[in-house]
Chain A
């Protein structure tokens, strides 16, 4: 069964304390892996797309990496404004269509 699992569910960091969020997946026909940020009461905001193992993308304090079975979102020297829920999604493609699967997210709190 296609599945996306994120860990940890929640993470509290001191400002400046670097860490990583994990997204592991088991889907066949993987087309891409996506990271989103979601603030309370808002729709998710697109961060990155990764297409193949070994690929890396960076944006400010965030860096996303991809292996064959998982992706990591590394947060370097986080600030309080980085507090949000981070969602991972994968797109599976087959002959008759395609589908997106989202993980349940990691809730990140950065303490000043």
Chain B
């Protein structure tokens, strides 16, 4: 089945403890992106990648890191999480390197930082 897989689905952590949310797609898509979704603010783009080893900042990149060493994987790293990073996170991919044509989204990761 063609899909974007995120892990974990739920995560509770403490302030300052480094964490990684994994994202993997099996559709050979060029473009991958991370979003956070907060009530009243909608989906906001954190980082995106148009190809392997090519990443760029979205609207809200502060406090996050990403890497794209392989085409299928695009992990999101929070080096020192803070409570304002409590949110619902989505990874998404698109077949075209520009992202055009619509995303396939993962099921989401609900992160709570205490």
Contact = CB atoms under 8 A, between A and B. Distances in A.
Interface of A: 31-32, 34, 36, 41-46, 48-49, 87, 89, 91, 93, 97-105
Given A44-B43, A46-B104, A87-B43, 20 more contacts: A31-B100, A32-B100, A34-B102, A41-B108, A42-B107, A42-B108, A43-B105, A43-B106, A43-B107, A44-B90, A44-B103, A45-B105, A46-B102, A49-B101, A49-B102, A91-B98, A99-B48, A101-B45, A102-B43, A104-B40
Contacts of A98: 98-99
8 contacts: A43-B107, A46-B102, A46-B103, A48-B102, A49-B100, A93-B98, A99-B59, A100-B45
- Looking at chain A's contact residues, the main secondary structure is strand
Range, interface on chain B: 20 to 34
Contacts of B4: 43
Interface of B: 4, 33, 35, 40-45, 48, 56, 58-59, 90, 92, 98-108
Closest 6 CB pairs of A and B: A43-B105, A46-B102, A102-B43, A104-B42, A102-B42, A44-B105
Contacts of A97: 56
Contacts, number: 57
A103 B58 contact: no
Contacts of A99: 45, 48, 58-59
Which residue among A31, A87, A99 has the maximum number of chain B CB atoms within 10 Å of its CB?
A99
B42 A105 contact: yes
Contacts of B59: 99, 101
Contacts of B92: 43
A91 B33 CA distance: 13
A5 B51 CA distance: 30
Contacts of A44: 43, 90, 103, 105
Nearest to B102: A46
Nearest to B59: A99
B83 to A, nearest CB: 22
Contacts of B43: 44, 87, 89, 102
